Each structure stands twice: as C-alpha cells, then as structure tokens.
C-alpha cells in the first residue's frame, strides 16, 4: 500500500529531473524554489509518517534515496558549471561511494544486509549539504548579494560535516561487522 509519506517521497524523486533541467538551463531562482519545495515535502512526509505511525520499509529506503539523488546530482551539476568547487564535489560524492562500497562489502562478506539507521550527524550533514546547494543557487540567481564569504564558509562546513559523518558511518559499519559478521575459527 502506498502511504501519503511515500507518495510525497516519490514526487520528490520525480521532481529531480525537472530540477536538474531547470538548473542546466541556468534558471537558478526557479531551481532554488524547487529545492525549497523538495525540502518542505521531505519535512512534511517525515512528520506525517511519525504522527500517523505510518513509517514503512519502503519509506526507509525511498526517503534517503531521494535525498541522495537530489544532493549528488545537484553537487555534480553545480560543480561542472563551476558554481561549487571541484574539491567539494569530489569530497561529497566520494563519501557516498565509499559508504556504499562498505555497505555492499559487508553484505558480501557477512551474507547479511546491514540495517541502516541514519544518525543525527548524518541527517545534519544532509541538511548542511542542502543549505550549501541552496546558497550556491541564491548566489547565482542574485549575484548582487555579497554571498561569497558565506558560500565559502558553508562549503567548508559541508566538507567538515561530510567527513565526520562519513567516519561515523564507517565506524558504525565496522562495529556492526564485528558484532554480526561471520566469524571463522
């Protein structure tokens, strides 16, 4: 059964190609508005799921996938366009690549899927990354605003949060493997 929160998440996923098309056309104001709408629906679907106790396994997979698809594609497009520094784009993308490789590796070694429970730090990192994308869009839509220093600060904060949350998830994965892994002996 498709719940309202899952429907809203699917709408967010469906909006990503529209967002990217608008972004590639350099309509930064419209891209910013769509990004804000995606953020609002993310909050709304989470609240509805918790209030109505309608969380689901599907939602637990779709919601973070929607966030990752939106963020990674945004960072890549803004990086290619030169609106985010390449080092930051590589940093953000590589963190997720490393975490996914770790996730698959644990499955291959232990023959068991790790249940991923987002940490508060991971959620904060997603929020900070979204803000970084949002302010990069505002900086392009309104070049008259003095956002260079603020954007640089957000980029450094994003890099720090991305690194720390990545290390936390790696640590949690290693702990999980140590507790649940197939131990030969």
Q: What is the pLDDT of residues 33-86, one digit of tens each?
A: 999 999 999 889 888 888 888 788 788 888 888 999 999 999 999 999 999 999
pLDDT of the chain, 185 residues: tens digit per residue: 788 888 999 999 999 999 999 999 999 999 999 999 999 998 898 888 888 887 887 888 888 889 999 999 999 999 999 999 999 999 999 999 998 898 888 878 877 777 777 889 999 999 999 999 999 999 999 999 898 899 999 999 999 999 999 999 999 988 888 887 655 54
CA 137 – CA 143 distance, rounded (Å)? 10
CA 53 – CA 71 distance, rounded (Å)? 27
Q: How remote is the C-alpha of 35 from its chain's centroid?
A: 12
Q: Is the full-model pTM beyond 0.75?
A: yes
Contact predicate 88/79, CB 8 Å: yes
Model pLDDT, residue 185: 40
Nearest-10 Cα torsion for 136, 137, 141, 142: -40
Structure tokens belonging to residue 156:
């450094």
Q: Among 1.20.120.1760, 2.40.170.20, 3.20.20.105, 3.30.300.30, what is the CATH number of 4-180?
A: 1.20.120.1760
């Amino acid at each position: 059964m498709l719940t309202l929160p899952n429907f809203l998440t699917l709408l967010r996923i469906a909006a990503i190609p529209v967002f990217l098309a608008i972004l590639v056309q350099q309509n930064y104001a419209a891209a910013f508005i769509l990004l804000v709408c995606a953020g609002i629906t993310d909050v709304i679907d989470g609240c509805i799921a918790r209030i109505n106790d309608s969380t689901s396994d599907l939602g637990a997979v779709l919601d973070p996938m929607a966030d990752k698809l939106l963020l990674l594609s945004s960072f890549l497009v803004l990086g290619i366009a030169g609106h985010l520094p390449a080092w930051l784009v590589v940093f953000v993308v590589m963190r997720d690549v490393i975490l996914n490789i770790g996730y698959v590796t644990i499955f291959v070694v232990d023959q068991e899927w790790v249940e991923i429970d987002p940490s508060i730090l991971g959620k904060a990192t997603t929020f900070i990354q979204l803000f970084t994308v949002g302010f990069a869009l505002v900086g392009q839509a309104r070049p008259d605003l003095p956002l260079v220093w603020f954007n640089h600060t957000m980029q450094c904060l994003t890099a720090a949060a991305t690194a720390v949350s990545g290390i936390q998830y790696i640590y949690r994965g290693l702990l999980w493997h140590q507790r649940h892994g197939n131990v030969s002996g």
